[in-house]
C-alpha cells in the first residue's frame, strides 16, 4: 500500500510529465540565471526573465494557464502577463526611464538626433532580411526592432504585432543589450581611425531649466501628432521627464524612478520569460530570430558610427565619431562604451556627456521607429 501511494505520488508529479523540451528549457533558464547572477549580464531584467522561463517549463505548475471557463481561475502569471499583452508594462517602464533621463546633452547639441536616427539602420536591415527569410511583415517588424536596443520598445511592438514571438525577441533584445561592451568595440575600432578616436570634444553649453521643461512638452506634441500610435511610449517617457525637470513633483519623480519601475520590471521580466514554453520556444524560427537580432544590433551600431564620421567631416574634426555608436538606445551603457573606447585612444578624452546626446536620441528614435512600424503593419 505504501509503495502504491509513492508510485501514485510520482505519477501525479511534474517529474513524470517532464519531456525533452521542458528539460532543455530548464537548463537554458539555469544558464541565464548564471549569466545574471555570476556574470552580472543585465541582472535587473535577465534574472526575472530567466526565472520566468524556469517556472513556465516546470510541468503541471500551470502558472501561465488560461482560465478554462468564466468560473475557473487561470494561472498567476497569466494574469500578470496581461500587463505585457495590453502594452501597460512597457509604457510604465518608459515613465521611469523618462524620470531618470537628462535630455540636456541632446538639447545642447540637437545634431545628436541624426546619430540617434542613423542608429536605427539595423531595424531596416533586419526587416528586409527577415522578410526574405519568409517572416510576415508584422513578424519582421518585431524582429527588426531588436536593432533599436530598447527592450521595452521591442516588447511593446511585439506584443502588438507578433505576440507568439515575444519570448525569443525579448530574450534576444535584453541579451544583446547586456553584451554591448563585447559587441560594439570591435565594430567601433573597425570603422574609425586612430585620429578620429583621439578627438577631444568641446564642453557642451549649459542648458536652461526653461529649455528642459519645454522639451518634453514640445516632443510629445510633435511626435504624437505625427505618429498617434507612439503615444503610449513617447507620452509616458516625456511625462516622466517632466516630473524630473519641473522640480515641483519630487515625490512623483522619485516614485517613477525607483518603486514604480522596480515593481513593473519584476512583473515584465517574469511574465516575458514565462512565455518561453519549450514546445513553442524550441523552434527553428528562434535561432533565426537570435541571429537576425545580432545582425540588427550590429548594423544599428554601424549606422550611428557612419553618421558620426559624417559629422566629423562636416565639423572639420570637432566631433568624435565614437559617440555615434551610442545612438542605440541602451541608456547609459552604450554611452559608457563610447567613453571607454575614447579613453583607450586618448587617456584625457571625456566623451560620456557628449555620447549621452545620441544615446537619449536613440530612445526617442526607437520609439518613433516602433510607431511607424505599428502604423504600417498593425
Whose grid coordinates read 526607437?
366
Count the domains in the chain.
1
Q: Is the peptide bond before 332 cis (omega within 30 degrees of 0)?
A: yes
Per DSSP, the three-state class of 329 is coil
> Can you say whether the dihedral through the CA atoms of 150, 373, 235, 247 is positive or negative?
positive
- For residue range 5-64, what is the model confidence (pLDDT) as tens digits? 777 777 777 787 889 999 999 999 999 899 889 988 778 888 998 999 999 999 988 999
Query: Is 286 domain-assigned?
Result: yes
Alpha helices in 247-377 (DSSP H): 250-255, 261-273, 278-281, 284-314, 333-345, 352-377
Residue 1, pLDDT score? 65
How far apart CA 130 and CA 373 sit, in angstroms, is 14
Whose CA is closest to 269, among 90, 64, 48?
48
Q: Would the pTM of this model clear 0.85, i.e. be above it?
A: yes
Whose CA is closest to 203, among 351, 362, 20, 7?
351
Residue 129, pLDDT score? 96
- For residue range 298-333, what is the model confidence (pLDDT) as tens digits? 999 999 999 999 999 999 999 999 999 999 988 888
- List Cβ neighbours of 81 (8 Å cut-off, separation of 6 or more): 64, 271, 274, 275
Whose grid coordinates read 532543455?
24
Query: Is 38 domain-assigned?
Result: no
Query: Is 72 domain-assigned?
Result: no
Burial status of residue 93 (CB atoms within 10 A of its CB: 0-12, 13-18, 19 or more): buried
Full residue range of the structural domain in which residue 274 is found:
85-377
How far apart CA 50 and CA 45 sit, in angstroms, is 9
Query: Is 301 domain-assigned?
Result: yes
Residue 155 CB coordination number (10 Å): 26
DSSP codes of every residue in 237-284: HHHHHHHHHHSS-HHHHHHIIIIIHHHHHHHHHHHHHTT--HHHHSSH
Query: Is 94 domain-assigned?
Result: yes
Residue 57, pLDDT score? 94
> Which stretches in the chain have pLDDT values below 70?
1
Amino acid at each position: 500500500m505504501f509503495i502504491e501511494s509513492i508510485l501514485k505520488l510520482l505519477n501525479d508529479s511534474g517529474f513524470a510529465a517532464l519531456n525533452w523540451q521542458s528539460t532543455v528549457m530548464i537548463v537554458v533558464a539555469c544558464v541565464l540565471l548564471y549569466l545574471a547572477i555570476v556574470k552580472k549580464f543585465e541582472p535587473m531584467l535577465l534574472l526575472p526573465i530567466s526565472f520566468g522561463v524556469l517556472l513556465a517549463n516546470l510541468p503541471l505548475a500551470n502558472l501561465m494557464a488560461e482560465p478554462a471557463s468564466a468560473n475557473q481561475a487561470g494561472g498567476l502569471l497569466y494574469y500578470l502577463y496581461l500587463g505585457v499583452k495590453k502594452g501597460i508594462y512597457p509604457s510604465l517602464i518608459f515613465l521611469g526611464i523618462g524620470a531618470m533621463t537628462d535630455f540636456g546633452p541632446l538639447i545642447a547639441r540637437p545634431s545628436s538626433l541624426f546619430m540617434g536616427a542613423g542608429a536605427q539602420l539595423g531595424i531596416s536591415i533586419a526587416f528586409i532580411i527577415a522578410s526574405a527569410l519568409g517572416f510576415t511583415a508584422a513578424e519582421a517588424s518585431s524582429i527588426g526592432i531588436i536593432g533599436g536596443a530598447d527592450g521595452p520598445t521591442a516588447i511593446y511592438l511585439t506584443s502588438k504585432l507578433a505576440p507568439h514571438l515575444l519570448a525569443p525577441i525579448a530574450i534576444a533584445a535584453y541579451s544583446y543589450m547586456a553584451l554591448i561592451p563585447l559587441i560594439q568595440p570591435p565594430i567601433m575600432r573597425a570603422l574609425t581611425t586612430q585620429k578620429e578616436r583621439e578627438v577631444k570634444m568641446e564642453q557642451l553649453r549649459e542648458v536652461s531649466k526653461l529649455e528642459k521643461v519645454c522639451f518634453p512638452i514640445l516632443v510629445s506634441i510633435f511626435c504624437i501628432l505625427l505618429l498617434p500610435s507612439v503615444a503610449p511610449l513617447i507620452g509616458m517617457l516625456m511625462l516622466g521627464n517632466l516630473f524630473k525637470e519641473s522640480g515641483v513633483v519630487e515625490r512623483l519623480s522619485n516614485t517613477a524612478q525607483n518603486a514604480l519601475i522596480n515593481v513593473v520590471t519584476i512583473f515584465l521580466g517574469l511574465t516575458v520569460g514565462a512565455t518561453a514554453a519549450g514546445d513553442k520556444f524550441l523552434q527553428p524560427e528562434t535561432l533565426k530570430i537570435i541571429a537576425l537580432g545580432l545582425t540588427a544590433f550590429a548594423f544599428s551600431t554601424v549606422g550611428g558610427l557612419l553618421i558620426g564620421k559624417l559629422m566629423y567631416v562636416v565639423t572639420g574634426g570637432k566631433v568624435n565619431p565614437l559617440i555615434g555608436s551610442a545612438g542605440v538606445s541602451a541608456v547609459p551603457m552604450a554611452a559608457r562604451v563610447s567613453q571607454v573606447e575614447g579613453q583607450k585612444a586618448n587617456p584625457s578624452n571625456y566623451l560620456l556627456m557628449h555620447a549621452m546626446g545620441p544615446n537619449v536620441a536613440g530612445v526617442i528614435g526607437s520609439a518613433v521607429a516602433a510607431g511607424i512600424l505599428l502604423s504600417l503593419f498593425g
